[in-house]
Structure 1
């Protein structure tokens, strides 16, 4: 007889190697064929809704690690919620309007816009957008993200645009929409206005000039021979100067320098003196800014008046305290200019070129005008100093080129009219991390009105008509009609038809007695598009609801989607569109640097999935502190893959040792289990509670560590390690063996369910090997519930103490192994000399201690103080490790003096001889 054939070794076809790049597409194919998303929704129908509303990625280019991080986080949450008592539909979306698609067509695809109508160009934009959506959709699905991929929301869809028009109309009806001429961020490279969310700051080298403005009329306060000194880093705005702003409460000094009198803020006199290299200054007089209000200075180039005004925006952080004021090129300048009745002069066109109003500089690009303007100031004796500085400057986030402030006629949403409601809505929202509340609250508190118009072709038109007198027309009737037209035909109809054909039949208005109307040609800011999704998606679709339970995006969306969504929702409903907001950081390389092609440090999701698999990428997402910036590299992913290997091996061991286990007839009741088996179920219950708590609080790294530790420490290093001696050696129906299998079965089901949201491919693969389950997928079951077990606290306390004692034994064995006293632990015999508490603990353990310590001999030699000198000392016990007496059993490898006592099986110990005799020879 071959005794090895009598061992009940693990049997399973579950492969040791994941081979995820090949296996995952097969799993996903099954999901597609069975329509797993639909089955999940049908199973959970009628449960409370949990809505995670997808912030739409822009439909352009392959997905990057930021996309992967974002979508995987969302998928983990949605999968968990659908297994934890909720109906959690997930509708992915795409943002499709705006400049990047226009640029892709004109530059990358060489489309000549001038050869076609706006409507024709927009058709090409739409086709391109759908190409990008289809590309990104397949990549998101490859990540294992489950959702309604066949029915996503897309901002160019007619039903989406129709609801967006409704949002605009509701805001207009409440008086929140207006048209006005004021400075806005303007991108000459895009030839369009920009919102704050479309601005990013980069370093820029700029001219820094100090310029003198002669006083023309001192209004009885000044003598008239003084000069105000202004400082600016934008010389190109000097032709637009109409005034000088002083703070009413600051003190200003009139100082004499070589016989010339200059005016600067007293607090900045020392800094200005140093900057202008003034050797000696004499203070002639001082005035409050309020005393100099409405003094008139002279523009150094054009000899027109430059009015001195009081403004609270003036600071002493830099410059001279006398602020060059060009109402057409700055928000503060505009506001103070309006208070003093100044014109809004803006001598720069949409392409950034100086107009004829900038006499002497017409046709120059604004940045190129800096030098000739400075030279002209030098020529007329007004330039006091020219230098250069590098400073943070606003750039167009798409073209990466500098922006300017430029006053143009634009459409605005008046944030100030409902700012208090916005701030209340921020306070009522649950923010994770908590600092998100402060961040958005401050943004709302400080932001100006929202410029929502753009001078582009590819976007949702602003649904405004104009009467013969140029007055805008926005009525319930026109809004409803345009909304219905867009729902039927899409927004392209706005560019295909004349104004009269877009108005309701028979429409009349007092502004057009002759019935002649025109239409607005600007489109809406793309942030208004995506910011309307709470109505265009959550209200539009029957399977969703507003407010959503959660918005989850990158931390850059505090100024983007979180902000625009809040603004439109509060304006329309008075409430935030979300109950909670969760944000994540950016994906950086392994050294914490931003990924860029030029650095060659870009980690591409598709490449990771082709090499390691999507589940490795998903496990990485679960392993990081995603609320901060996260690092990813080949080495980091290899470490994650090693953790995955350990989890997978745990599954394989569990499956292998349950091959002959039928839970319906072989499971042992909890009360009949040994204490050590009960202890493992207590630990499993604790794992359930910890993991579910972590899922509910979006603490995925805690799940990663708790599951990993349970698999490697509580299972592999303890329970599974000593269990082999029972599972492999004893007879199939041995009660201790069935008891262990009962625990292993519970662990298998529990772990498979707990990791399913994070490792959906692997967990579904494991599920197919569990013969006793009825459901075709683990996605169609609920999370495990922890059970009410008897004497939990007492049992856990006792066995936790035993585990500490066992750790001491393992350390002693390791020392003996290093000193060549023993080889493997089964070759050892240990004698323990415990203190009183340890002795009581050992005596209370009814299990086979020799088996639990995985040694061949065990005894208690005496008290702690009676231990011999060669004993290894620990806090509670002293341990003597020696070679076990007897021979090694051919079957179980235990060293025993009973080997050879059975004549039928002379190479076996008595235990193995009994098992073989009973189970294999009859």
Structure 2
């Protein structure tokens, strides 16, 4: 042995991985450092500068609400948006992300009332006073500003990069001016009107609510079955004396001594009248029975709805066991499917008399069950056919109070011409005021309350039920636990009440043959939805929705800045509108509430009697207008947006309001693509709740594991569905991240010895060509999946590539060549060149998903680089694709799997310590497999010191895998001596006298290293 060999530590002669990229990520400490670096270098501006002149790709941010720390839903949403904008930026677009916030509305107003007034025992100021209104709005603005700063910091901690220095805010003066301008456009086009309809109303919050502001919770309701006495059939009615029949239209007759009194009849009318008088219908004196979960709406009843598709019958009570309600002999009309259940509820026995046809029901008029109470309810209650009536529950008849329900209102309006022709009063009453008290339109109940200021039931139900019992009009009563609408802010139940509000027509012709509804539906057809099911969901909502109610009775928001006359007609004066918008631009919407605002805006028309509307715009109109003051008004963006992305609940929220606003003013949607994500549940699939203690806060995940772990979770979920998250799932992602990080770390360590030498594709070994083929395949997959927003597909493919094809195969096979070969080795140089390409591709492809880790890796390899996020995805030549080669190597790897399987048993049974101690014999019967193995350095592929491939079946005790027929392995030990440097067992160890304990290959490498002065 030479002196050199005696002194040499062979481990120091190997090209072992060397890197400062730590195995332990330390993300909770490293990520804030990178956020600070990005902010210090102003990465956002550098991204904009690097993308100048490129085609724009715009994801318009749906504004979160500025009233608290972010939750896991915010994190999911923002991460998805960040991945999209980054991926398009790195594929040649100018992909500018401008964050925004929704700043107006009841949640903030509610918080100010709670924190600044209720909790301190102070009365809310009189907001009819301009000074008080201005101060209250200032408090709301300051509250929103506080939380915008907090949320902006939390979003950036997630790795989000965007224009946080200049976000859009709905409370900016320019924003408020543009929102008001959009409203005035709609008013100018004749789409805005003041009407009276039943709307969702929060008694607690004293305001109208939109569907998107409501959530459904369990609630226990009083239920009642109410009898409506039939007093008229086919225009023949029975009087209170039960002796005189009245023909109410077109003439009136009294039966006295059995003869008509003073009227003249034509022959047909006289015959019909005589027949009716002599043989009155057996439905007279019967009762139609309805069922309702809102007894307090009975004073608002004006009709009963039925369905021509339902089978009804006339029933008679034969026995009664109840304390109140029907007695034996009473006749009642029910849907046949529901009769038995209803009679059982009332503890009655009965018999069915006959069918009752739809024509007969159409001929019936009932009296109100509260007739005469408080001098009111003395009006006919007609039966109306309605498609909304079913026999799933109740009685098959729907109590119809057009003041208290959308379907009730629509049924009433559908029949209004018919009702007017019959002389029935069609004016819709206002039985309940904004505080939940009965009004004079509920005679006999004035002062009773449906709901109090805390959302608790008032005495209205009990008062109504008591009055019905006193009049023998209650069939039965009970209680029902069911899903009932609650305000998502106060968490208190709401009511439906008729109240004057401002609406936008859905079906008014707009002068071009379209309506707002038809425009919106056409826009939906022109929009791409991801997932596709979102299209049908939004379409169904638009098809069914009523006119858009815009008004809210609150203080913090953009006002409905119009003036109206006594008839409710809107002032159309461009000079007035210009003064309003100019003032909003300079002073914000506060200008509308300032002292002297009316005279200021009306100018010379101030004495004409115009009334200033003081209602506030629905905040969904605010957010629905964001496309105007962001996409249209910012030169760094464009209209329409390429993408809107929010939770699936926004089909009824932001997607919906943005569509309607844009369709009303521009005739199309403000977006080309709508992407939706689901909601995050706990690991058991339960909704996260503080009371259950199963809430996962993104701040906690970032503190314990890091934002990239949270981002990896998002990337590996089916985000368009509801996802699950908890400790176990987080740990699963930590483990997956660790494996991925170690693969990147190994590449960095190996590339520390890279001399950046390019090698022509044709000069590469087959194995390297195979890896480039896989890169070419992945390049297509990655780009197509980013276009399709299928992030899980990318994450899964790249993680599997790193773990299965790189770490467990290619890197494992090439470690010997990379560590031990001479510097000039073509095999080693080829592997380095390919690993360099693999690193560049995988790190940039993953950069949108894991921005912190990939930035750290990129800078570790290129310390002088600015940021990986300023890079583009590498160009992958199509000529790298080689399907024939891939198929060949699929077969090679199948044979390899049999070899590794055999050696694993040898290792387990301690017959070998590592695969380098083996030199197996591989028996192959398949001619094609043998051909594939020809010319391959199969011992290196199998990481053994030797290998023999033999045609034939092999011995019976050879190792086989059922899934690889025709291959058998006899795991023999390698012959020779173990090389002290590479640990291969070979017969040529010591063949070089200068290096007596290493193989010939290793001795040659040592000579070359010595010649280069590297020993």
- Name the structure 2 match of 1:241: 301
Q: What whole-Å deviation, never above 9, does each CA across 1:109-145 have from its counterpart, x for those lacking one? A: 4374327711110010000000010000000000001
Query: Is 1:498 matched with 2:589?
Result: no
Q: Does 1:320 align with 2:395?
A: yes
**Structure 2: gaps spanning 5 or more residues:** 1-7, 238-280, 318-327, 420-424, 451-456, 509-515
Identify the range of structure 1 (686-695 vs 72-81) with the bigger mean alpha-carbon deviation. Answer: 686-695
Structure 2 residue aligned with 1:636, among 729, 738, 744? Answer: 729
- CA distance in 2 between counterparts of 1:453 and 1:620 reads 41
Q: In the alignment, which of 909, 917, 922 is matched to residue 827 of structure 1?
A: 917
Q: Which runs of 4+ in 1 moved over 6 A?
A: none
Deviation (angstroms), 1:372: 2.6
1:856 aligns with 2:945: yes
Match 2:489 to one of 378, 381, 398: 398
CA distance in 2, matches of 1:781, 1:885: 51
Equivalent residue for 1:256? 316
1:246–1:853 Cα change, 3 Å? closer
- What SS is found at the alignment partner of 2:520? helix
CA contact (8 A) 2:203 2:494 kept: yes
For residues 611 and 139 of structure 1, the distance between their equivalents in structure 2, rounded to whole angstroms, comes to 15
C-alpha distance after superposition, 1:616-672 (max 9, x if no partner): 111111010101001111211111111111221111111111223232xx2322111
SS, match of residue 981 in structure 2? coil
Secondary structure of the 1:645 match is helix
Q: 1:535-554 counterparts in 2 under 5 A?
A: 535-554=628-647
Structure 1 residue corresponding to 2:183, chosen from 168, 180, 187: 168
Distance 1:747 1:251 in 2: 72
Helix, strand or coil at the partner of 1:390: strand
Distance 1:679 1:686 in 2: 11
Contact 2:779 2:876 in 1 (8 A): yes
Q: How does 1:33-182 map to 2 (within 5 A)?
A: 33-110=40-117, 112=122, 113-114=124-125, 117-182=132-197
Residue 471 (structure 1) shift? 4.1
How far apart, in 2, do the equivalents of 1:586 and 1:88 lie? 26
Say if 2:290 and 2:398, in contact at 8 Å, map to a contact too: yes
Deviation at residue 292 of structure 1 after TM alignment? 4.1
Shift of 1:230: 2.1
What is the SS of the residue equivalent to 2:305?
Answer: strand
Count of residue correspondences: 911
8 A contact 1:235–1:370 mirrored in 2: yes
Aligned to 1:90, the other structure's residue is in SS state coil
Secondary structure, counterpart of 1:882 in structure 2 = coil
Q: In structure 2, do the counterparts of structure 1 residues 881 and 470 end up closer, same or farther at CA, with 3 Å as the change threshold?
A: closer
Equivalent residue, structure 2, for 1:887? 977
- Call closer, same or farther: CA 1:380–1:745 in 2, change over 3 Å: same
Alignment partner, residue 432 of structure 1: 530
Counterpart residue number, 2:889 = 799
Query: Structure 2 CA distance, aligned partners of 1:31 and 1:283?
Result: 83
Mapped contact 1:201–1:394 kept (Cα < 8 A): yes
Aligned CA-pair RMSD: 2.2
Find the counterpart in structure 2 of residue 868 from structure 1: 955
Q: Secondary structure at the match of 1:779?
A: helix
Quick check: 728-737 or 453-462, which moved more? Answer: 728-737
Pair 1:26-2:110 in alignment:
no
> Helix, strand or coil for the counterpart of 1:753?
helix
Equivalent residue, structure 2, for 1:845 = 935
1:363 is aligned to 447
**Cα 1:790–1:406, aligned 2, differ >3 Å: closer, same or farther?**
closer
Q: Specify the SS of the correspondent of 1:748.
A: helix
Q: Which residue of 2 aligns with 1:276?
A: 346
Query: What stretches of structure 1 of length at least 5 have no aligned partner?
Result: none
- Distance across 2 between alignment mates of 1:331 and 1:712: 58
Change (3 A) 1:181 1:869: closer
Please point out which of 905, 910, 913 is paired with 1:815.
905
Q: Does 1:758 align with 2:874?
A: no
2:996 is the counterpart of 1:906:
yes
Deviation at 1:587, TM superposition (A): 0.8
1:775 deviation in Å? 4.6
1:597-616 equivalences in 2 (<5 Å): 597-616=690-709
Q: 1:454 to 1:900 in 2, by over 3 A?
A: same
Shift of 1:691: 1.4
Would you say the 8 A contact 2:60–2:98 is kept in 1? yes
CA distance in 2, matches of 1:824, 1:544: 60
Q: CA deviation at 1:322?
A: 3.4
Give the match for residue 748 of structure 2.
Answer: 655
- Cα distance in 1 for partners of 2:814, 2:306 equals 83
Pick which of 784-793 and 427-436 moved more.
Answer: 784-793
CA distance 1:733–1:916, shift in 2 (3 Å): same
TM-score (norm 1): 0.95
Q: 1:376 to 1:658 in 2, by over 3 A?
A: same
Change (3 A) 1:176 1:806: same
Please state how far the C-alpha of 1:286 moved relative to its aligned partner.
3.4
Instruction: Provide, for residues 361-418 of structure 1, a one-character-per-residue CA deviation record: whole Å limited to 9, x for no partner.
Output: 3333313221232122112221111111112211112111111110010001112232
CA deviations over 1:47-81 (Å, ceiling 9, x no partner):
11111111001111110110000000000000000
Partner-residue secondary structure (3-state), 1:648: helix
Q: Distance in 2 between matches of 1:595 and 1:332?
A: 34
Within 1, Cα distance between the matches of 2:358 and 2:751?
89
Which piece of structure 1 moves more, 256-265 or 241-250? Answer: 241-250
Contact kept, 8 Å, 1:798 with 1:841, in 2: the verdict is: no
Moved more, 522-531 or 276-285: 276-285
8 Å Cα contact 1:494/1:502 also seen in 2: no
Alpha-carbon contact 2:561-2:614 (below 8 Å) kept: no
SS in 2 for 1:579: strand
CA distance in 2, matches of 1:707, 1:287: 68
TM-aligned CA deviation for residue 287 of structure 1: 4.6
Q: CA distance change for structure 1 residues 299 and 384 in 2, over 3 Å: closer, same or farther?
A: closer
Take 2:315 and 2:992, find their aligned partners in 1: how far apart are those partners? 116
Name the larger-Rg structure: 2
With the length of structure 2 as denominator, give the TM-score of the two structures.
Answer: 0.86
Stretch deviating more after TM superposition (808-817 or 555-564): 808-817
Distance 1:687 1:720, change over 3 A: same
**Alpha-carbon shift at residue 884 of structure 1 (Å):** 1.4
**Structure 1 SS opposite 2:623:** helix
Give runs of aligned pairs for residues 578-593 of structure 1, distance below 5 A: 578-593=671-686
Aligned equivalent of 2:511? none
Work out the CA distance in 1 between the residues paired with 2:685 and 2:35: 33
Give the 3 Å change call, closer, same or farther, for CA 905–310 of structure 1 in structure 2.
same
Aligned residue in 1 for 2:206: 191
In the TM superposition, what whole-angstrom CA distance separates every residue of 1:232-285 from its partner, at most 9, and x where no partner exists? 111111222233334467665444332223333456444443443432335277
- Contact in 2 for aligned 1:253/1:285 (Cα 8 Å): yes
Does structure 1 residue 305 correspond to structure 2 residue 379?
Answer: yes
CA distance in 2, matches of 1:688, 1:247: 60
Q: Secondary structure at 2:879's aligned position in 1?
A: coil
Aligned partner of 1:878 among 934, 945, 968: 968
Cα distance change, pair 859–128 in 1 and its aligned pair in 2 (3 A): same
From the superposition, tell whether residues 863 and 232 of structure 1 become closer, same or farther in structure 2 (CA, over 3 Å): same
The 10-residue stretch of structure 1 (478-487 or 121-130) with the greater mean CA deviation from structure 2: 478-487
Alignment correspondent of 2:18: 11
Residue of structure 1 equivalent to 2:623: 530
Q: Tell me, what secondary structure is at the counterpart of 2:349?
A: coil
Look up the SS of the partner of 1:30 in the other structure: helix
Q: Distance in 2 between matches of 1:623 and 1:682?
A: 25
Q: Distance in 2 between matches of 1:580 and 1:138?
A: 28
Q: What are the Cα deviations for residues 298-339 of structure 1, in whole angstroms up to 9, with x where unaligned? A: 432525224214232433333333332222212233334441
Deviation per residue, 1:853-912 (Å, 9 max, x gap): 11112123x3223x2333223413221112211221111111122223433322222222
